[in-house]
Structure 1
Amino acid sequence: MKTQLAFPDRDWLDTFEVRPAAARGLSQQVLRTDASGMPLEWIDYREAVRLHCLDQVAYAFGTPLYTLHGGTNAKSGLQTTIAISSMLATLGSSGNPGTLSADYVPPLNNETLFRRDACLCMYCGNRCPPAQLSRDHVRPFCQGGRDVWNNVVAACRRCNNSKASRTPEQAGMQLLAVPFTPTYAEYIYLKGRRVLADQMEYLLAHFPRRSRLHARLQRFMQ
């Protein structure tokens, strides 16, 4: 999902001194939206500064994250300063595929699948590190199941091996929650790292009114 932007000097950012606004280091992601406010993607501070320098930022909002101090402006005599907030809206056409097709399906991968299921085994309910989880197909391939969001859940390896090539009913196992396909805004949340409170609140406003992801987060993350 990362947008590649051409810039004449790839080392231009080295001339800036970067000061995080809090003890987050430089890894805190920025939520990029289009000018209408539709969520697009996560970007790092370098990409955010590049967008500012290319005059592609319509407006910025949210928690202050970084302040970059550059050289002195020859005309004004003032030091160049760029402030980066937790969210910024950019100019141009929307890159949100969720607005282009009602049938948009986000790419399926284990990282976002496990986050959708709150890193819980959907059979025994144990919370596990991602390395101890596996992707289970509710209806197995040998019975016509497919590798799609609506047919996969996070499962610990013990439960996955116990279920084997059977449906939950055939194995006498019960699913804790029904699998579902996330919307684009939900998928952006699932892709985020260390999502800040204001970023989460903003994304929640773009979740469906009866978001199953929101309900699941409230149920399993308490």
Structure 2
Amino acid sequence: MILKGEIVLSILKLDAGGIPQGWVNAEEATKHYAEKSVLWTLGEPIIQMRGGISRASGFQSLIELHSIIAIRGTAKINLFDVVPVITKHKLFKRDRGLCAYCGDAIHENQAEAEHIIPNSRGGKYSWMNLVISCRPCNQHKGNRTPEQAGMDLLYTPYMPSLYEDMILKGRNILADQMDFLAANLPKNSRLLDAYIREVN
């Protein structure tokens, strides 16, 4: 990852068609530049990587890394068909840090990944059956469904799209990276609502 002061930054890597492939660190991005596999870039240069001194020219090599890079080739699998990996961090960001039952804002360290239909009742560990909950609500609900516990869900769980997943797993996303990803979000995305509120 790229250190800019105290902030850790990442570079958004796309395939030749502009489809996100993931977040890469400075070393991985520099390798793509050195191999001349970077087809095009977006955004501003965010860091300069300095190499050795050229015997021929006597100058030190310098590569400017942009915040978004597109690499030759396309993915071997269609990432639009891949179910995003679930992590508690991504669930927390998807659900905007709000308990699904009481609506209180929770610190990420205090948030719990809660099965809507309990695991013991056949509930799956899936995007559609998981929400973020505070500990008191999670304990009160226990091994019951929301209906049995008399607890209404305040929002509906959903499986993130590829672009939403890139936002959920990214940290310290730069403005131009966020603009690129937000431009491809579904129109009903909660993340798009949050992005629009942030820029306005």
Q: TM-score, normalised by structure 2?
A: 0.88
**1:216, CA displacement in angstroms?**
6.0
Q: Is the 8 A contact 1:38 1:96 kept in 2?
A: no
After alignment, is 138-147 or 53-62 more displaced? 138-147
From 43, 46, 50, give the equivalent of 1:69: 50
How many positions carry a matched residue from both structures? 198
Quote the residue 1:205 is aligned against.
183
Letter in 1 for 2:71: T
Equivalence map 1:56-95=2 (5 Å): 56-94=37-75
Quote the residue 2:173 is aligned against.
195
Change (3 A) 1:39 1:118: same
Quote the residue 1:162 is aligned against.
140
RMSD between superposed Cα atoms in Å: 2.4
**1:179, CA displacement in angstroms?**
0.3
Distance 1:96 1:86 in 2: 24
Equivalence map 1:1-222=2 (5 Å): 23=5, 27-94=8-75, 97-99=78-80, 101=81, 104-215=82-193
Letter in 2 for 1:139: I
**1:110, CA displacement in angstroms?**
1.0
**1:51, CA displacement in angstroms?**
1.2
For the residue of structure 2 that corresponds to 1:85, the secondary structure is strand
Letter in 1 for 2:141: K
Task: Give structure 1 regions of 4+ aligned residues with deviation exceeding 4 angstroms.
Answer: 216-220
Change (3 A) 1:97 1:183: same
Q: Is the 8 A contact 2:182 2:195 kept in 1?
A: no
Q: TM-score, normalised by structure 1?
A: 0.80
Change (3 A) 1:188 1:91: same
Percent identical among aligned pairs is: 37
